[in-house]
Amino acid sequence: MSKGLICFDISKNERFQLSDNYKMLHRKVKINWKVEKSDGELKKDRLQRVDIFVLAGPQDRFTEEEFQVLKEFVERGGKLWVMLGEGGERDYNTNVNFFLEQYGIYINSDTVVRPHYYKNFHPKECIVGGGVVCEAMWRHLLKKDIEIVDFDFSDEKYKIHFQYPYGATLNVSEPANILLTTGPVVYPFNRPLAGYYTNEHGGKILAIGSGYMWHDKYLSDKTNDALLEYFLQLLGGNEIKFTHLDFNDVEINENKTFTDIAFLADMPKACLVDSMGGAQTPTDFKEMFDMTIYSLSNRLLKDVIETYEKLKVKYEPLKIIKPEFEIPLPPLQLATFPPIFSEPAAPPLELYDLDEVFSAARTQLSQMTSKCIQSLLAKDARKPLNARELENYIKECARITGIILEHQEVQGPDILNILARQIISYKPYAD
């Protein structure tokens, strides 16, 4: 007999992976099933040969086309197993409820806690007692090798305790049915934990609010192991069939939420006996809290107005201060640190004749004189000298010797005058 195929989707960044925290589950499942992973977009041809498709804590959103593929998969007889955890869609950042709502199942964004210690230290690592509400299911589990709580319960279903860590509750309505609840001990009381849907073509959907039930840490529990075996048998074959009598005696409470519990916890009275006014607990629990400390009242307004008259201060109502729209920018303020100015760019040395710039004054005068003599020799001797060239020669020699500045405009005769005056005023030192 060929093995059926179970496919675990990993395309939506699933929190529970076969290679990470589902290693023990993988070893148990592959004994009777062929196990595969799907890391691509959900398509019809990809799910044609799959018997059970598992969404183990998706953390990305599905597209409308993918939901349509899942819908067609269930309608033609496919089995879908969906698991999330505490916080539901809000913490997992997925939209799987959009698909499950069509079949009467919704995973809430809450957390299941056990209000008192029992075996596990963390309150979210719940041990649920009396949570198997489907009669055919708990009768099947009692025949298995599981840990039975030896108490004198009137109902045998309370003898079955299973691990439900870090999980959320569900809302289940027709056409789906409830398989597991929180029971009378775990908070919130008697709320669905697992929903089951089936159609006339054999298509099935199993939704559980805690994927941590099959985590390696908790699958070692015999009851959780038996539940895994039962769910695989429920999805994989047709041996288990339910009747309407299996879901008749299911006690479900309404989904009530208490808003702002932390606010109420900050306002208890010092003595509960004083707040109750007697030995009996009041019907309305709000009477046990003192709300007057945080109330608003204008009973002191009259005293405040009379104080104006005693102090002889004119009482005027507050006036609206007109905003100033003339200033588009806020006023300037001194900077904490002085501004940092950028340094000027280095001079383009490639544009300078370095030999000419850094040579001595005598060398520059010699070079200048040589250029002028060569220019005179190259010209025709019969032509008169060019007065402009002579003046340029005088200005350049004055610039080299420092008689005039670089950009100072002085005529040639004036330069010769300045030079003559300096020679006349020159007095050699006496010996």
CATH number, domain containing residue 207: 3.40.50.880
Does residue 75 carry a pLDDT above 80? yes
CA 138 – CA 158 distance, rounded (Å): 9
Residue of higher predicted confidence among 281 and 100: 100
Q: Helix, strand or coil for residue 334?
A: coil
Residues 195 and 274 in one domain: no
- pLDDT above 60 (res 279): no
Q: Encoding tokens for residue 271?
A: 């003595």
Question: Would residue 53 count as lying in a domain?
Answer: yes
What is the mean predicted confidence (pLDDT) over 16-28? 88
Rounded Cα distance between 273 and 405, Å, is: 104
Structural domain includes residue 301? yes
- Report the pLDDT value the prediction gives residue 233, as an integer from 0 to 100: 85
Give the pLDDT confidence score for residue 394 in this predicted structure.
83
Q: Who has greater pLDDT, 378 or 422?
A: 422
Structural domain of 235: 4-247
Instruction: With cut-offs at 50, 70 and 90, classify the pLDDT of residue 40.
Output: confident
Q: Which residues are 194's β-sheet partners? A: 180, 208
Please check the confidence at residue 304 and state whether its pLDDT lies above 60: yes
Mean pLDDT to the nearest integer, 247-259: 73
H or E stretch at 128 = strand 125-129
* Collapsed DSSP state (helix, strand, coil) of residue 394: helix
Same domain, 262 and 180: no
Q: DSSP label at 293?
A: G
Residues 84 and 116 in one domain: yes
Judge if 229 and 270 occupy the same domain: no
* Per-position b or e across 122-159, b if 16+ CB within 10 A of its CB: ebbbbbbbbbbbbbebbebbeeeebeeeeeeeeeebbb
Q: What are phi and psi of 194, to 5 degrees?
A: -140, 130
Give the residue-averaged pLDDT of 326-355.
Answer: 73
Helix (H) or strand (E) holding 5: strand 4-9
* Domain closes at, from 247, 277, 295: 247
Size (the chain), residues:
431
Instruction: Tell which wins on pLDDT, 291 or 73.
Output: 73
Residue 411 lies in a domain: yes
Query: Which pLDDT score, from 0 to 100, does residue 294 have?
Result: 65
Q: Which amino acid is at 141?
A: L
- The number of distinct structural domains making up the chain is 3
Same domain, yes or no, for 243 and 283?
A: no
Angstrom distance (rounded) from CA 119 to CA 81? 29
Domain end, chosen from 247, 278, 305, is at 247
pLDDT at 247: 76
- What is the C-alpha radius of gyration for the chain, rounded to an integer number of angstroms? 47
290 and 403 co-located in one domain: no
